Structure 1
Amino acid sequence: MTGTIAGIARHGRPKGPVETIDRVEVSLDGGIAGDCRGVRKPGGRGRRQVTLIERCDWDAAMHQVGYDLPWWARRSNLLVDGFDLPQVPGTRLRIGADVVLEVTRETDPCDRMDKLAPGLFAALLPDWRGGACSRVLAGGTIAIGDPIRIEEP
């Protein structure tokens, strides 16, 4: 099963403004270039270097709360379309030709979500609807429109 990267976003500091971009470098030590969450701390495991969310999950949450906010309001790095993100830590994802991510855990929603839309926190809870966290195993450049798929061992 293959999907596509439908959006790329980053924020340079915690709670800072989100910037949407068309292409970006992804690295082992820095995650998404220019994103504050991607830097792997000395001795750290980098479990949250890159976050991903499914377009259909975001759309379902928006429908549930009766709002129409852009996907990047979730503060995820990558929006995927036509692809069911695996809910199994350790699963590897290939994006484009070079980038490989490893799913580490579910991206838990934070209380900030209810400030965006009442009920959004609860709407993101079921079935990993809030997305997945990942660490970078192989870097490279990714762009909107790149394919994403599960990397077989």
Structure 2
Amino acid sequence: MTGVVTGRLAGIARHARSRGPIEVVDQVSVSIEGGLAGDFRGALKPGGRGRRQVSLIEAGDWDWAMQATGHSLPWWHRRANLLVEGMDLPQVPGTRLRIGSVVLEITQECDPCSRMEEVAEGLRAALTPDWRGGALARVIAGGDIAVSDAIEIIEA
């Protein structure tokens, strides 16, 4: 599958340090060396592979988890970087996505951690099946992205 527009970027969030406050932004620069500008997870460590530079979650999966747990929290409580809408995130490592000029490569499932239970009781379990917790990606090509940018699968 090449160049098929499947969704759009519905939200961008970052946090400058572990367990730090989330900042929601409308646009951000993304680089191979640093991931999302201003997000602590994106920086490549010496000898690292950058498998966790960017985290993505589907809007529908977050909505489902909120309904399943009886809560109504904004998506950024998941602490993911990018909210995608109108598509199913590929569940195949190596799949590449283009958002604006940025290219991301899916590396693995983003397993929900115990922190999700601190956010809302039952949330970790609700996000566990079928990659509902989202996907992790490395940056292949940097650039700028903005809310409402199209997302396309360019290599599967």
Q: Which of the five TM-score ranges fits, normalised by the shorter chain? A: over 0.9
Q: What residue number does 2:92 align with?
A: 88
Q: What residue number does 1:16 align with?
A: 20
Aligned counterpart for 2:64 among listed residues 53, 60, 63 = 60
User: What TM-score results when the alignment is normalised by the length of structure 1?
Assistant: 0.98
Distance in 2 separating the partners of 1:58 and 1:94: 22
- Name the aligned partner's letter for residue 32 of structure 2: L
Give, in angstroms, the shift of residue 152 of structure 1.
3.1
SS of corresponding position for 1:37: helix
Q: What residue number does 1:71 align with?
A: 75
1:120-139 to structure 2, matched below 5 A, reads 120-139=123-142
| Count of residues in correspondence between the two structures | 152
Distance in 1 separating the partners of 2:13 and 2:26: 9
Aligned counterpart for 1:148 among listed residues 143, 147, 151 = 151
Distance in 2 separating the partners of 1:21 and 1:136: 19
Gaps of 5+ in 1: none
SS of corresponding position for 2:42: coil
Distance in 2 separating the partners of 1:115 and 1:152: 37
Give, in angstroms, the shift of residue 115 of structure 1.
1.3
Structure 1 residues 97-133: Cα deviation after superposition (integer angstroms, max 9, x where no partner):
x100000000010111111111100000010000000
% identical equivalent positions: 66
Distance in 2 separating the partners of 1:152 and 1:129: 22
Query: Within the alignment, does 1:28 sit opposite 2:29 as a pair?
Result: no
Distance in 1 separating the partners of 2:87 and 2:45: 30
Q: List structure 1 runs of 4+ shifted beyond 3 angstroms.
A: none
- Name the aligned partner's letter for residue 128 of structure 1: W
User: What TM-score results when the alignment is normalised by the length of structure 2?
Assistant: 0.96
